[in-house]
Chain A
Amino acid sequence: MNRLWTIFKREYLTRVKTKGFIIGTALTPLFIILLSIGPSLLISLKTEKSKQISVVDLSGIVYDELLNALNDTTSSGERLYELTRVKATLENMDNVKSDLSQAVDKNEIDGYIVIPPDIIEENETHYYAKSVSNFDENRIFRNAISQIITNYRLEQSNLNPELINKLTRRINLRTFKVAKGGKEEEDRGLSFIVTFIMVMFLYMALIMYGAFVMRSVYEEKLSRVVEVLISSCKPFQLMAGKVLGIGAVGLTQYFIWAAVAALLTIYSGSIIQIFAASDSGFSIPTIPISVLVYFVIFFILGYLLFATLYAALGAIVNSDQDAQQLQFPVIMLIILAFILAFHIIRNPTSNLSQIISMIPFFSPITMFTRIAVQMPPFGEILLSIIILVLTIIFMIWLAGKIFRVGILMYGKRPTLPELLNWIRY
């Protein structure tokens, strides 16, 4: 037991003290914050410079309306799109166009729009610029001209555009989640995002920390440090010390993140005011405590299951290539669980969801997804946990056997029958 603690301590301290851990722990929340409030931040930023756009309106019905429609302003309050009308006829069109293209090339104007005379029938207009990959801008032009043409057509048919718009208004669907006890809560699609983020975290943790365990084991094996260690403690103590030590590193990281998240929730109001436009409707959703508790439980259980598996694989490995090859099936298993989680988000109560949330190598992710989306009956959660714990006990036994023999076996990677032989020892 003593030695297990010594190994645990070394694994934990040498990892927590590395720059990689400190940077990774600090950057991840920053990254998530940027991801969540970054877009609204970017949208609220206004372009500084106004754009010179020339318009060749051969139809003669668009330009005046367009001048009204494109009324966005820059940060300094000027018009974002400075429109200039360019006169042309069908005959001198080619010359005008080449002149305008020259002007674009010399950066005299930012772009030009050509509205053909038969736009009403042909339903097409052209925009020329150096860069036409700004989808937002393209959308703005398309919508504005579309609206003008539609209104024109309606008027031509003796219909009142305002009335039509009023009559064809879209219906807004607001969603409410009915939680335990019949409590209703408005949900703006954020519960999906929160579930997704948590499942993502679980998925990343299983792959990342599992790989850490594997690397730690095979590095000791390949550097032959293991020979000295194994003469001072039981192989099982070595394996357990590693698995628990690295697991504790993971928990530490999550604890720090949870603390940051808690602070964010408390101060979310003021932070949002600082960063985001006040009307962006952004709010950090609250996660029920029970879901958080299950998150920790399934993280620990899932980690133990995969870490022991990875430890056994690490003991078999004889080179970096071996490690990558052996890692692949395990990662596939976790990815599969992640893909299945999407099915569960859509159909949390289907038979398939129930079954896959019981299968031990999937359940850390799949059962947790069910919990996050729609709390299943407690009996099902318990059954899933029991199956998982029994599998973990079996895996620890199995991995212990493989680890003991593998850690001192150099040379070629063992075949499956050889592995079975080790287990029988």
Chain B
Amino acid sequence: MSALTIDHVYKSFKDVQAVQDLSMELPEGVIFGLLGPNGAGKTTTIRMIMDIIIPDKGKIFLMGKPNSQQVRDQVGYLPEERGLYRKMKVGELLSFLAEMKGLKPSQSKVRIKMWLERFELNDWINKKVEELSRGMQQKIQFIATVIHEPRLIILDEPFTGLDPINTDLVKNIMLEQKNKGAAIIFSTHLMDQVEKLCDSICLINDGKDVLSGELRQVKKNFGKNAIRMEYEGAAKFLNNQKLVRNYKDHGNFVEIYAAEKITIKQLLQEAITEVDVSKFEIMEPSLHEIFVETVKKKKNGGKK
């Protein structure tokens, strides 16, 4: 069964088309990267999933059912804009937020203790939220997101403000929840995190799905594999537009993107005539590259 189905959804605000013909299918036990530049329509999409705003057209199903209080109780949502009641005590706050998700106080008490221990925050249970550091508050909010063991977890930029240790902790919890069968929607601008964690992605731009599918497939389809070359000498051929579409000098090595119709073999032949090649390796395109390329292409297309 799919945790989330978005079926040809449209939403516009006044004269802005925020989301346009968006469709998604999210099976259980999958981490799904929802990507896109700022203002692409990610938050609008998430808000529609949470039934905060209603689509103009199209349907959204959670766990195969139309949106309702009951179904939404199985969703955990960590918004990008974080906020907690500053004057409440940590324990009371978590208990309140758990109750808002339908958890009984007797149930939440045990879980709050367990989660606070896991994040090493158990000494803070009777402290007011305003006494906590920003990072601690982030962790509290993350606990509130997963405390009711949701089957669909929506995380909007979950790592901002966390140190590397806690980032790893959150990452582990994400994988753990995935293995338990939860579906996770993960929205972020950190492409390397997406590459490490996500099974599938959807890249939206101007409210439209511009690239989606399984991460491996997306990379394969992108086609333009980069070449990593370590060498010594003056590589003039890199500036030959007929051979090389683009390249990036990383200092220790260059990342080369071949021009269209140029095979890797041709490129290698050209290279060894000019420089001493010590390493020549075909790399998968980075998601970063794919993101930038795809969004740029659309922009230029739009201008024409």
- A-side residues, CB < 8 A to B, are 2-3, 6-7, 10, 14, 220, 223-233, 408
| B148: nearest chain-A partner, CB-CB | A232
Most B CB within 10 A of own CB, among A2, A14, A227, A230: A227
Pair A6/B96 contact, Cβ less than 8 Å: yes
Pair A225/B100 contact, Cβ less than 8 Å: no
Pair A231/B85 contact, Cβ less than 8 Å: no
Confirm or deny: B291 has a beta carbon within 8 angstroms of a beta carbon on chain A: no
Within 8 A of A (CB), among B70-120: 72-73, 75, 77, 79, 81-88, 96-97, 99-102
| A7 to B96 Cα, complex, angstroms | 8
- Could you list 15 examples of A-B contacts with CB < 8 Å? A2-B69, A6-B96, A223-B85, A224-B81, A227-B52, A227-B81, A228-B97, A229-B100, A230-B50, A230-B52, A231-B52, A231-B72, A231-B77, A231-B79, A408-B52
A228 in contact with B144 given A3-B69, A10-B96, A408-B52 (CB within 8 Å): yes
| A215 to B145 Cα, complex, angstroms | 26
Residues of B within 8 A of A408 (CB): 47, 52-53
| A228 to B101 Cα, complex, angstroms | 10
| A408 to B84 Cα, complex, angstroms | 16
A233 in contact with B84 given A227-B79, A228-B79 (CB within 8 Å): no
A232 in contact with B101 given A3-B69, A14-B88 (CB within 8 Å): yes
Pair B52/A223 contact, Cβ less than 8 Å: no
Residues of A within 8 A of B82 (CB): 224
- What 3 A-B pairs come out closest when comparing CB atoms? A224-B83, A224-B81, A231-B50
| A227: nearest chain-B partner, CB-CB | B79
| A224 to B99 Cα, complex, angstroms | 19
| A408: nearest chain-B partner, CB-CB | B52
Residues of A within 8 A of B84 (CB): 223, 225
A14 in contact with B50 given A3-B69, A232-B101, A233-B100 (CB within 8 Å): no
Pair A223/B86 contact, Cβ less than 8 Å: yes
| A224 to B43 Cα, complex, angstroms | 14
Pair A228/B77 contact, Cβ less than 8 Å: yes
Interface residues of B, dominant DSSP: loop
- B-side residues, CB < 8 A to A, are 47, 50-53, 69, 72-73, 75, 77, 79, 81-88, 96-97, 99-102, 141, 144
Residues of B within 8 A of A6 (CB): 96, 99-100
| A288 to B73 Cα, complex, angstroms | 50
Residues of A within 8 A of B73 (CB): 232
| A231 to B76 Cα, complex, angstroms | 9
Closest CB-CB distance, B12 to chain A, in whole Å?
Answer: 12
Residues of A within 8 A of B85 (CB): 14, 220, 223, 225
Pair A232/B79 contact, Cβ less than 8 Å: no
Closest CB-CB distance, A390 to chain B, in whole Å?
Answer: 28
Residues of B within 8 A of A231 (CB): 50-52, 72, 75, 77, 79
Residues of B within 8 A of A224 (CB): 79, 81-83
Q: Which residue of the partner chain, among A2, A14, A232, contacts B72 with CB atoms under 8 Å?
A: A232
| B144: nearest chain-A partner, CB-CB | A228
| A226 to B47 Cα, complex, angstroms | 12
Closest CB-CB distance, A224 to chain B, in whole Å?
Answer: 3
Residues of B within 8 A of A233 (CB): 69, 100
| A227 to B43 Cα, complex, angstroms | 11
Q: Which residue of the partner chain, among B50, B53, B77, B83, contacts A223 with CB atoms under 8 Å?
A: B83
| A229 to B83 Cα, complex, angstroms | 10
| A94 to B97 Cα, complex, angstroms | 84
| A408 to B50 Cα, complex, angstroms | 13
Pair A227/B83 contact, Cβ less than 8 Å: yes
Closest CB-CB distance, A195 to chain B, in whole Å?
Answer: 38
| A229 to B86 Cα, complex, angstroms | 15
Closest CB-CB distance, B49 to chain A, in whole Å?
Answer: 9
| A234: nearest chain-B partner, CB-CB | B69
Pair A232/B100 contact, Cβ less than 8 Å: yes
Most B CB within 10 A of own CB, among A2, A230, A231: A231
| A411 to B79 Cα, complex, angstroms | 18
Residues of A within 8 A of B69 (CB): 2-3, 233
Residues of A within 8 A of B88 (CB): 14
Residues of A within 8 A of B83 (CB): 220, 223-228
Closest CB-CB distance, B97 to chain A, in whole Å?
Answer: 7
Residues of B within 8 A of A226 (CB): 83
| A2 to B99 Cα, complex, angstroms | 9
Closest CB-CB distance, A242 to chain B, in whole Å?
Answer: 13
Residues of B within 8 A of A223 (CB): 83-86
| A223 to B130 Cα, complex, angstroms | 12
| A233 to B81 Cα, complex, angstroms | 18
Residues of B within 8 A of A227 (CB): 52, 77, 79, 81, 83
Most A CB within 10 A of own CB, among B53, B79, B83, B102: B83
Residues of A within 8 A of B87 (CB): 14
| B46: nearest chain-A partner, CB-CB | A231
| A229: nearest chain-B partner, CB-CB | B100
| B51: nearest chain-A partner, CB-CB | A231
| A226 to B83 Cα, complex, angstroms | 8
| A223 to B87 Cα, complex, angstroms | 12
| A286 to B79 Cα, complex, angstroms | 56
Closest CB-CB distance, B67 to chain A, in whole Å?
Answer: 11
Closest CB-CB distance, B105 to chain A, in whole Å?
Answer: 10
| A14 to B97 Cα, complex, angstroms | 14
Residues of A within 8 A of B141 (CB): 228
| A226 to B72 Cα, complex, angstroms | 16
Residues of B within 8 A of A230 (CB): 50, 52
| A2 to B69 Cα, complex, angstroms | 10
Closest CB-CB distance, A14 to chain B, in whole Å?
Answer: 6
| B99: nearest chain-A partner, CB-CB | A6
| A39 to B219 Cα, complex, angstroms | 87
Closest CB-CB distance, B276 to chain A, in whole Å?
Answer: 57
Closest CB-CB distance, A15 to chain B, in whole Å?
Answer: 10
| A233 to B100 Cα, complex, angstroms | 8
| A288 to B231 Cα, complex, angstroms | 100
| A104 to B101 Cα, complex, angstroms | 78
| A6 to B51 Cα, complex, angstroms | 20
Closest CB-CB distance, B132 to chain A, in whole Å?
Answer: 14
Closest CB-CB distance, A292 to chain B, in whole Å?
Answer: 35
Q: Which residue of the partner chain, among A2, A10, A225, A228, contacts B102 with CB atoms under 8 Å?
A: A2
Residues of A within 8 A of B75 (CB): 231
